[in-house]
A and B are shown apart, each in its own frame.
Chain A
Amino acid sequence: MDGEEQIDTAPTGHGDEVEVGFLAPRIHAAPFPGMQITGYVLSMALTLAAFGLVAYHWLPLSSLVTVILVLAFIQAALQLGIFMHLREARGTAWHLPVLALALFVGLGIVGFSIWIMLFKSGVS
């Protein structure tokens, strides 16, 4: 919010810090959690929108799935960016490569599940 402020990195002394640009330490400091409150309101709105779409049949089924997926991705980005400190790290930002791995495994599970459950379309 109020500008990015470089803080002293706290070396852990384990010897597994690295010098890679996008993993460099950075941290936000703001006196008032304005971003968090905005994020909270936005995520509530996104959740209610998704619920409303399903409960009140605002959209036909074909476009419903797409819209809900888009809402879900925005929601996930909000959560990661605002509440899960995606862009912040006191030391090397090790969580970024780990998050990429999580995304890989998560998408793999979803993709495989679709592939596995496709047999339903052959049966029914």
Chain B
Amino acid sequence: MSMREWITHLIKLLFPPQVLLPDIVGIDIGLTVGAIAIMVYLTVRHRWGWLWREWLTTVDHKKIGIMYLIAALVMLFRGGVDALMIRTQLIGPRAHFMGAQQYDEVFTTHGTVMIFFMAMPMVFALFNAAVPLMIGARDVAFPRLNAISFWIFAFGAILLNISFSIGGSPSAGWMSYPPYSELAYNPGVGENYFLLSLQVAGIGTIATGINFLVTVLRMRAPGMSLSKMPIFAWSALITSSLVLFAFPPLTVALGLTMLDRLFGASFFTVAHQGMPMMYVNLFWIFGHPEVYILIMPAFGIFSEVVPVFSRKALFGYEAMVGSLLAISFLSYGVWVHHFFEMGAGPGVNVFFGLSTMLIAIPTGVKMFNWLFTMWGGRIRLTVPMLWQLAFIPTFVVGGATGVMLAAVPADYQYHNSYFMIAHFHNVIVGGTVFGVLSGMYYWWPKMFGWKLNQRQATWAFAFFVAGFWVTFMPQYFLGLEGMTRRMATYPAGLGWTSLNWWSTMGSYLMAVGFLIMVYNIIWSRLHPDWDTTGDPWDGRTLEWSLPSPAPEYNFARIPHVRSRDEWWAMKREGRTDDVKISADSVQPIHVPRNSAMPIMLAAAFFVGSIGMVFSWFWMAILGGLGVVAALAYGSFADYSELTIDAAHVLKTEAAMGRVDS
């Protein structure tokens, strides 16, 4: 028996056919026990007040960033377990770990969770953690709206995540195309969960977009003109504007589907002259800019990481900004490449095929700019830099296969095959996930005040990246061999067995990488390596001029920006004492007060959504009234700001050695 057969055999022994994996009742019991355990712990340790004051009602962008990060990592786990279930099912021909229905539910949840509840919050975590600090602001433009965004996202995520144990999971894929997502073919509440959770989370996303758009445009420190702004702030600005343009079509598409399912309309049904393809059109008007919403922040992160760890200014700043703008503009004119096969005709298909290929040009510009930044630089192979180095070849392969997919006649072959699956995992994992992980390791000391152990993080990196290549390279060839996406099982003798086995092994390697990452975080928390300098990487931008973690008010004294990499310039010119305050010049600082309104508003949305999912309209109305009540309270409540008095600021800054004597 070969090694490969032996491993397959072992997995089959461990998970006998047709047992629900994981057993839902077991999960339910586990969740209940876990929730009770957390509550008992909070009660015994008297931490409820702390939790409420410090986290649940906070409007501080730094804490909201940390909560986004935790949520994103939990969702990465959930989506990752789904991925492992998918890969285990496909380990060999005729493997029946799950039935077809459960398999459909698992891949639907995998896609939805990874895009909307892992990648998006991870991006917002880094926006919150870094953008206000690097532009010299004391908070985002609308701190309470920021908290509302987070809690609405969190309750939307909970809504999707409870679906499998309460009522049933959605099963129509993360795009939920009609007519299969319509009531006639998909009865039950699963699809309702999908529609409501994305609708609710989408409100939070749009609010975050508005927030960071205004923050970057209005809250910059004096002297920081747009052309002196760090590229990550540029990417936040452009991502936010993409969010504003892209999410309304999704809202419309989901809303109309909801009217179809709950109130008997027929916008997208087959019966009564509905137009199912109009949903597809609307979804991808959102969907294509969405993938740029995911990748732009990664571009921004790499544009920060590369100069710092090459000890060189970014090569071609203007070209970087220009290419970001070009990509964002072009991204609105490419969406038909997701459905060339609809048959809109050669004119339409050629137009959108060509516009898709055009995007490769500004992306290529960025690639070369990163390479030229590294060229001749003094490169330090830290963990953020390792993720960046892994990103470059990965994204080039992903981008090149994207151009292959944009060729219309060839796309009739590639469409919905594993070739396409491999392509978009190549760009989303190899681009976005590598990017946000690079950013997470880069800004971790600034967020938490302690560093992650580099050796462990390097092992996590090695397993994850190796696993990534082993998982997705075979899938290109599976696609060329004719394997289509979403197959619950496949027969032997098609030449797919060996490639699938390797792909599954790769996914296990990625899982090991993730486990090491979690171990790394826990170990580094228990053996903290405190960042006392505030500038562990010898950084270039303003966030590194602050202590780690930054005090509640961020800047005791708002800096006057003179050059592009201001902190670097201050260090070169010996102006680092500029960040210090003196006892006679210190001013009281106004910060926004904590508010319980955001979490209440989000809870009301949650109650209303549950009502809509199960068509309990009394409950939906109750939730709706709760939303109105929370908004009314929010409009009329007393929002006098909290004043941190000068003596307290002086004491805090003095404790960190930032007062001129």
CB pair A116–B223 under 8 Å, yes or no, is no
Q: Chain B: how many interface residues by the 8 Å CB criterion?
A: 24
CB pair B344–A119 under 8 Å, yes or no, is yes
CB pair B332–A119 under 8 Å, yes or no, is no
Instruction: Report B-chain residues with C-beta under 8 Å of the C-beta of A108.
Output: 332-333
The reply on A113 being an interface residue by CB < 8 A is yes
Kindly provide the distance from the CB of B455 to the nearest chain A CB, expressed in whole angstroms: 43
CB pair A119–B218 under 8 Å, yes or no, is no
CB pair B223–A109 under 8 Å, yes or no, is no
A-B contact count (CB 8 A): 48
Instruction: Report A-chain residues with C-beta under 8 Å of the C-beta of B343.
Output: 119, 123
Instruction: Report A-chain residues with C-beta under 8 Å of the C-beta of B277.
Output: 117, 120
- Interface of B, helix, strand, loop or mixed by DSSP: helix
The reply on B589 being an interface residue by CB < 8 A is no
**Residues of chain A from 53 to 95 with CB closer than 8 A to chain B in the complex:** 94
CA distance A88 to B80 in the complex (A): 49
CB pair A13–B223 under 8 Å, yes or no, is yes
Instruction: Report B-chain residues with C-beta under 8 Å of the C-beta of A113.
Output: 281-282, 285
Kindly provide the distance from the CB of B272 to the nearest chain A CB, expressed in whole angstroms: 14
Instruction: Report A-chain residues with C-beta under 8 Å of the C-beta of B332.
Output: 105, 108-109
Kindly provide the distance from the CB of A84 to the nearest chain B CB, expressed in whole angstroms: 12
CB pair A14–B224 under 8 Å, yes or no, is yes
**Residues of chain B from 335 to 389 with CB closer than 8 A to chain A in the complex:** 336, 342-345, 348
Interface size class of A (residues with CB under 8 A): 20 to 34
CB pair B220–A105 under 8 Å, yes or no, is no
CB pair B217–A94 under 8 Å, yes or no, is yes
The 8 A CB mask of B308-338 against A (1 = contact, 0 = none) is: 0000000000000000000000001100100
Kindly provide the distance from the CB of A104 to the nearest chain B CB, expressed in whole angstroms: 10
Q: What are 22 pairs between A and B in contact, CB < 8 Å?
A: A13-B222, A15-B223, A16-B225, A94-B217, A102-B245, A109-B249, A109-B285, A113-B285, A116-B336, A116-B344, A117-B275, A117-B277, A117-B278, A117-B281, A118-B344, A119-B342, A119-B343, A119-B344, A119-B348, A120-B275, A122-B345, A123-B343
CB-CB nearest 6 A-B residue pairs: A13-B222, A15-B225, A119-B344, A116-B344, A14-B225, A14-B220
On B, residues with C-beta under 8 Å from A are 217-218, 220, 222-226, 245, 249, 275, 277-278, 281-282, 285, 332-333, 336, 342-345, 348
Task: Give 7 A-B pairs besides A13-B223, A117-B281, A119-B345 with Cβ atoms closer than 8 angstroms.
Answer: A14-B223, A105-B332, A113-B285, A117-B278, A117-B344, A119-B343, A123-B343
